[in-house]
């Protein structure tokens, strides 16, 4: 999506080997108008899927998820992060590991809000190694719900997550795929929009 790629070139920072800084518009300060455009593109690309719910994980995915959900006319559920020992109540849980932060955590979502009747679109800001996305998929699987696909703002194309998910037959939309950051410059993968 050219709008996002252009914004990353202008305001983002490529910090080799693997850090993409987009905190001026996507995951600390939020440019709501831009995020609404991302939501619109996600809606356009998944409007054929009879999505009943959007699932994301706190915190950076929430804004994009809401911008898309408004157009689908469905609720957002955001999985929370915690330590397994502190998670009470009737929740689906899935363990994940953040390479960025070097920490393990457990995601959880109430069984009330993802059910076997749902067709769920996963939305998140980043796809890197795929751990977070696969944890969200586990929650959907455990609920007996259907996974419509995954819509991601920025995919680190030089990490394994995107390939892993696509090889599993999951429909993955990444609005920008960074294939290289050599010399601190983003090189985006060409995509057939």
Query: What distance in Å separates the CA atoms of residue 53 and residue 67, rounded to the nearest whole number?
Result: 13
Task: Indicate the residue among 64 and 177 with the shorter CB distance to a second copy.
Answer: 64
CA 69-10-32 angle, 5° bins: 25
Annotate 33-42 with b (16+ C-beta within 10 A) or e (fewer): ebbbbbbebb
Give the closest residue to 124 by CA, choosing from 74, 68, 51.
68
Work out how close the CB of 164 gets to a second copy at its nearest, in angstroms, rounded to a whole number: 26
Give the closest residue to 56 by CA, choosing from 36, 82, 26, 81.
81
Provide φ and ψ at 75, rounded to 5°: -75, 155
Task: Indicate the residue among 81 and 165 with the shorter CB distance to a second copy.
Answer: 81
Q: Name the site residues for a second copy (rule: CB under 8 A).
A: 23-25, 28-33, 35-36, 58-59, 62-63, 65-67, 69-70, 73, 75-78, 80, 109-110, 112-113
Work out how close the CB of 81 gets to a second copy at its nearest, in angstroms, rounded to a whole number: 9
Task: Indicate the residue among 25 and 158 with the shorter CB distance to a second copy.
Answer: 25
Pairing between β-strand 119-127 and β-strand 103-110 as defined by DSSP bridges: unpaired
Task: Indicate the residue among 25 and 188 with the shorter CB distance to a second copy.
Answer: 25
Residues 6+ apart with CB under 8 A from 59: none
Work out how close the CB of 121 gets to a second copy at its nearest, in angstroms, rounded to a whole number: 14
Task: Indicate the residue among 109 and 148 with the shorter CB distance to a second copy.
Answer: 109
Work out how close the CB of 38 gets to a second copy at its nearest, in angstroms, rounded to a whole number: 12
How is residue 97 written in tokens? 């590991």
């Amino acid at each position: 999506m050219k709008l996002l790629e252009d914004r990353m070139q202008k305001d983002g920072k490529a910090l080799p080997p693997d850090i993409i800084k987009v905190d001026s518009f996507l995951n600390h300060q939020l440019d709501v108008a831009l995020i609404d455009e991302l939501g619109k593109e996600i809606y356009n690309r998944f409007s054929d899927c009879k999505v009943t719910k959007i699932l994301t994980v706190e915190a950076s995915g929430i804004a994009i998820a809401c911008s898309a959900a408004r157009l689908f006319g469905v609720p957002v559920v955001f999985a929370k992060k915690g330590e397994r020992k502190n998670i009470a109540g009737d929740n689906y849980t899935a363990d994940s590991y953040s390479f960025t932060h070097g920490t393990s955590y457990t995601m959880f979502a109430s069984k009330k809000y993802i059910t076997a009747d749902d067709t769920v679109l996963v939305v998140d800001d980043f796809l890197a190694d795929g751990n977070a996305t696969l944890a969200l998929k586990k929650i959907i699987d455990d609920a007996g719900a259907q996974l419509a696909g995954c819509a991601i703002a920025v995919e680190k194309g030089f990490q394994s997550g995107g390939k892993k998910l696509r090889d599993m037959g999951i429909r993955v939309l990444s609005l920008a795929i960074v294939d290289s950051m050599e010399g601190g410059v983003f090189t985006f993968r060409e995509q057939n929009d």
